[in-house]
Amino acid sequence: MSVKLTIEPKVLFSYPSAKEFTYILKTLAEIVDEVAFMVKSDGVEVRALDPGRIALFKAFMPPESFQEYEVKEELFVGISVANLVKALKHIKKNDKITIAANEEFVEMVLEGTTVRRYKFRNLSVASEEVPEIKVEYDVEATLLANPLRTAISELSSLTDTIGIRAQGEEVVLFDYETKKTNYRFSSLTGTLVSLNIKKECSVAFDAEYLSKIVDSLRLGSAVDIKFGTEAPLYINFTTTAGGQVEYYLASKIV
């Protein structure tokens, strides 16, 4: 990298767009206060389970997602996500972000028109064992990311509960409380890529928790969603940089 570090790193990774990287960080900050990135030779993995065990966020970024990627040995990189997001508050579109770490420190360098450097302690973050989620889904669909992000954003500003319904040849997101606002995804409008309905169903989800994934949705173009009356909502997509994002959300009892 062009800027010298103040630490001797065990791991180092550079992402060409700091702004894009913050979309994942903002989602993490909505769920937990501290998070541990597991940095290995085959990529960076992060998991976040909210204290109420309602939402689970997972992301994996292979080495190909990064401009630079060096791993001398596997390392957990523990960070206060809120502090990290605060440090990245005024980033510019073309800023590059580099994160380097050893067992003691995490150093973050932002390179753009100026160079900004931040140094944090490498926190020891308790990592809960997250069981594999194996359920039968009633509905599997692929939607365009931008219309889905718009629907979730606008509905979460109107209601506390968002319904997701699959029937016929469409998926509908709607205001569960008033039923007055609907966002329809169908092949006719070009917002629905594919749909497989084993059983028609309508499920309610907490709008606040569903809106936590909105920032990360900016990184994808098409989104796979699965849901059912006896299953959590499952959202999965590939980022433009080749990473994988997954989000599980328990249904809301209404």
Q: In which region does residue 190 sit, left (phi positive, over 0), alpha (psi from -120 to 50) or beta (all else)?
A: left
Per-residue tokens: 2:
């062009």
Pick the closest to residue 232 from 252, 213, 215, 208 (CA basis).
252
Q: What's this model's pTM, rounded to 2 decimal places?
A: 0.92
pLDDT of residue 20: 87
Q: Which of 54, 50, 18, 21 is nearest to 34 (CA)?
A: 50
Q: Which of 52-56, 134-138, 140-144 has the highest mean predicted lDDT (pLDDT)?
A: 140-144
Residues 6+ apart with CB under 8 A from 37: 44, 45, 46, 76, 77, 78, 79
* Residue 4 CB neighbours (<10 A): 7
**The CATH number, out of the four listed (3.30.460.10, 3.90.550.10, 3.70.10.10, 3.30.450.20), of the domain defined by the range 139-249:** 3.70.10.10
Fold type of domain 11-121: Proliferating Cell Nuclear Antigen (3.70.10)
Single-letter code of the amino acid located at 216: S
Does pLDDT of 131 surpass 70?
no
Q: Is-same-fold flag (11-121; 139-249)?
A: yes
Task: Return the domain boundaries, the chain.
Answer: 11-121, 139-249
Residues 35-77: tens digit of each pLDDT:
999 999 999 999 999 988 999 999 999 999 999 999 999 999 9
- The residue-averaged pLDDT of 145-163 equals 97
What's the confidence (pLDDT) of residue 128? Answer: 62
- Start-to-end Cα distance in the chain: 53
